[in-house]
Structure 1
Amino acid sequence: MDPRDQSGEEVGWRYALRALKFRNYRLFFGGQSLSLIGTWMTRIAMSWLVYRLTGSAFLLGLTGFASQIPTFVLGPFAGVWVDRLDRHRVLVVTQVLSMLQSFALAALALPHHITVAEILWLSVFQGVVNAFDMPARQAFLHQMVERREDLPNAIALNSSMVNGSRLIGPSLAGLVIAGFGEGWCFLIDGASYMAVIASLLLMEVRVPQVRRAAESVGTELREGWRYVAGFPPVRNILLLLALVSFVGMPYTVLMPIFATRVLGGGAHTLGFLMGASGLGALASAAWLASRKSVRGLLRVIPTVAAIFGAGIIAFGFSRWLPLSLALLLFTGFGMMQQMAASNTILQTVTDEDKRGRVMSYYAMAFQGTMPFGSLIAGWAADRIGAPATLAIGGGLCLAGAAWFLSRMGEVRRALRPVYTRLGIIPPPSQ
């Protein structure tokens, strides 16, 4: 059967994978898919190790804080340098440093000499690396796919890749932790970075990065801030994403508590819970990959923020594992849909010379606010319990979705001329 519709456009699964026709993106997709499985194994192993050593919800939150606070502090500066430097080279350096961090964790954990203080310091180091890696990775997508109209598909496939690994990595980590210990997860993660490093070194970057006249860092910081704060679509999307990340996303930090105290399981239960959330997120990313245009994504954002909020409220009060797994499917769907839809709109409307700075604010909103939320969630869970903590966070997500809906008219008016200029919507009739 011809995979094209009557207009001659490709449809079906080939259309959903169209960004893979670019060699550089195929290399990145393959290497990163393997590496991210190891990354998720490390995330699960680290949280499980901290909880096993201390039994403290607060220290779980503190570990999340340590790994993510550098993104918040360094984000704007990282964005300036990502716009100045060769993004391809930045990614090679960040992946090598991440590999060394994982091997350091393995070297300390395998002989059972690791301490919580060492975990915290290595988490801070990884956070500094991530502050540069995330905006560079997002901004580099445009150079890999070469055509602006295929950028939304690349972003959706990226989300599929992240959540496919999120489905495999935590489940595999649960098995490895139960059978061999946390240190082997760190060792596997370190080895997995070799795949993405090799894929980056094999690339031939043909789409040049726009170079601006070098101004002072302070001038470029102010220029980036004025753009983000003054353009309603970017400002409001980032504000809602920051709120949801701050009050909702720390549910992942509290997952070991639900796996053990609430649901009465162990490391394998933690892997199943994280895998269920990843499966919902993977379904979300697959739906986004099948979309033909960025049109319509704006109204999706508040809807999925509400789904995410309602999902974590219900999950917090579930005491039955099958129900908890089902609820995490909806939670993962809502979380990924908001993140990817926000990313797609931001990358579509942002000029190339500001892409690194805008994506650094995206990283701040998505990952930079989570450390504060993780710290507060860990503190609150010790005092009022993990279920009540999630109920409060979910309620605030619902309130944020309602606020965004109230600003939709302003955002649409600001987006209309940009979408018209890019050919996404037709110009108004004369």
Structure 2
Amino acid sequence: MASSPFRRDFGFVWLGGLISLCGTHMQFVALPLFVFERTGSTLATAATAMAAATPGIFLGPRAGGFVDRNDPRRCLILANLCLGCITFGFLPAAVGPWWIVVVVVAVQGLLGQVVGPAETVWLPQLVGTGMLGRANALSAASKSLGRLVGPAVGGLIYATSGFASVAILNAASFLVAAALNGATQRSIARPAQPRTQAAPWQQAWRHARRDPLLRRLLMVVVLSSIGEGAISALLAPFAVERLDGQATLGLVLTCQALGGISAAAVLSRWHPNTAMPALLGTGCLAAGALLVPMLGYPIWTAVAWPEMVMTALAGFPFAVIAIAQTTLLQTAPPPGARGGFYGFAASIGSTCSLIGMLAAGVLASVTNVFVILIDAVCYLAAGTVMLTGSTRVWRRRRAAAVNCLPASN
């Protein structure tokens, strides 16, 4: 894109993503609260989170390969339409058996496997590689805005109107996103990708074996996903038992978005493409260092304001992680295989998230919710892995790419 990534089509995609993310974060707060209040079981909340992660284990690479072979714009529109329809399935759970939400969440997870690869492949087409870092920063801003608005609104609506109202609004958000994506111009036709006998996950694994940067990127996905799985399973019980309730959970998640918006504002004015591995590693270390006191201090006190302050500070490194990781997934794999590699990474992430959820749920049931500190350990390890030699590899790749460019007259 010649001047700014915020052109017409990107604006529609950006707005659609923001609206759907607001609905998703509303559900992120309300759903575990609903399950925990109905069952009183950390294992039940962990099972609900596991249902969302399980489809990605088996279908992530195939969904990414599907996007590589098709129009990513159309894939994204259809996925959002289907997500909007299936989300209405939460309504019977509000008055019926709680386990209905597990089924609906599993189908949401199934459809969601298309969304990530489609966005990954489509965004470079919209903005061009030269503006990709800034576009990802603006996309991270929309995610942070969704995290800012969604949790607070979701917690408030859940407390006043119940889970059914949250489900209706989330379903509507997916449908609006589909309409906005449909208002964009059709994707530029891409050359057909050669078919291969290898399965999508085998192709992605071959690329990772040959490329040390991709291997380190996958290790970061593994470690961070284990940590995020643990926090997904235990955040609601942690807030209810140690931080005095539902409203606190929504406010804590909203505070994280404030730091994320700040990071996106800074990085949208900077072109950090040459430093993405270092940016990702540093962001992981900073996030891990902040998570230790943020999740550990309620051992001594249930006062909530320190949690909110530290969560706001942690929002900055988490936004940095999102921007750097997304840009690496869009640029480090070879062209024509990026959707498949994204799906492979998502599949590994889902598997590790499932492990984290299960381990955290079981350990917390026999100890206490401070098992949630696993998240901090995982991010510290991920940062260490990414900073070990990856910047040198990235510089060699950039230099090789420049040397391959045709000489200008």
Give TM-score scaled by structure 2 length: 0.91
Residue 219 of structure 1: how far off its partner (Å): 5.1
Corresponding position: 1:400 with 2:382: yes
CA 1:355–1:378: 2 relative to 1, 3 Å: same
Distance 1:334 1:250 in 2: 19
Read off the aligned partner of 2:335 and give its amino acid letter.
E
What is aligned with 1:5? none
CA 1:293–1:332: 2 relative to 1, 3 Å: closer
What is aligned with 2:205? 225
What is aligned with 2:263? 284
Asked whether the 8 Å contact 1:307–1:330 carries over to 2, the reply is: no
Asked whether the 8 Å contact 1:251–1:312 carries over to 2, the reply is: no
Distance 1:409 1:293 in 2: 13
Residue 128 of structure 1: how far off its partner (Å): 0.8
Match of 2:192 among 200, 206, 211: 211
Match of 1:391 among 373, 385, 399: 373
Corresponding position: 1:345 with 2:328: yes
Distance 2:13 2:89 in 1: 25
Distance 1:206 1:421 in 2: 30
1:170-207 Cα shifts (integer Å, max 9, x gaps): 00011101111111000011112222111122121253
1:324-347 Cα shifts (integer Å, max 9, x gaps): 111212333222322320211231
Distance 1:334 1:365 in 2: 23
Match of 1:132 among 105, 108, 114: 114
Read off the aligned partner of 1:90 and give its amino acid letter.
C
What is aligned with 1:360? 343
What is aligned with 1:234? 214
Corresponding position: 1:85 with 2:70: yes
Residue ranges of structure 2 left out of the alignment (5+ in a row): none
Asked whether the 8 Å contact 1:139–1:359 carries over to 2, the reply is: no
Read off the aligned partner of 2:402 and give its amino acid letter.
T
Asked whether the 8 Å contact 1:152–1:294 carries over to 2, the reply is: yes
Match of 2:235 among 255, 263, 271: 255
Asked whether the 8 Å contact 1:309–1:394 carries over to 2, the reply is: yes
Distance 1:135 1:421 in 2: 29
Distance 1:338 1:365 in 2: 18
Distance 1:227 1:343 in 2: 17
Corresponding position: 1:334 with 2:317: yes
Asked whether the 8 Å contact 2:45–2:233 carries over to 1, the reply is: yes
Corresponding position: 1:62 with 2:47: yes
Residue 408 of structure 1: how far off its partner (Å): 3.2
The CA RMSD measured in Å over matched residues stands at: 2.3
What SS class does the counterpart of residue 185 from structure 2 fall into? coil
What is aligned with 1:202? 183
1:368-403 Cα shifts (integer Å, max 9, x gaps): 53222122112222222122x133432243233223
Distance 1:291 1:362 in 2: 27
1:24-82 Cα shifts (integer Å, max 9, x gaps): 21111122222221111112111111111111112211111110121122111112111
CA 1:54–1:413: 2 relative to 1, 3 Å: same
CA 1:328–1:206: 2 relative to 1, 3 Å: same
Match of 1:143 among 125, 129, 146: 125
What is aligned with 2:308? 325
Corresponding position: 1:121 with 2:107: no
Asked whether the 8 Å contact 1:152–1:289 carries over to 2, the reply is: yes
Match of 2:155 among 166, 169, 174: 174
What SS class does the counterpart of residue 190 from structure 2 fall into? coil
Distance 2:112 2:181 in 1: 17
Matches within 5 A, 1:26-37: 26-37=11-22
Distance 1:134 1:48 in 2: 26
Asked whether the 8 Å contact 1:68–1:370 carries over to 2, the reply is: yes
Deviates more, 1:377-386 or 1:366-375: 366-375
CA 1:408–1:89: 2 relative to 1, 3 Å: closer
Distance 1:422 1:256 in 2: 51
CA 1:419–1:334: 2 relative to 1, 3 Å: farther
Read off the aligned partner of 2:366 and give its amino acid letter.
R
Distance 2:239 2:294 in 1: 12
What is aligned with 1:39? 24
Asked whether the 8 Å contact 1:285–1:336 carries over to 2, the reply is: yes
What is aligned with 1:102? 87
CA 1:419–1:322: 2 relative to 1, 3 Å: farther
Distance 1:125 1:206 in 2: 27
What SS class does the counterpart of residue 336 from structure 2 fall into? helix
CA 1:200–1:267: 2 relative to 1, 3 Å: same
Read off the aligned partner of 1:119 and give its amino acid letter.
V
Residue 263 of structure 1: how far off its partner (Å): 1.4
Identity of aligned residues (%): 24
Read off the aligned partner of 2:215 and give its amino acid letter.
R
Deviates more, 1:136-145 or 1:169-178: 136-145
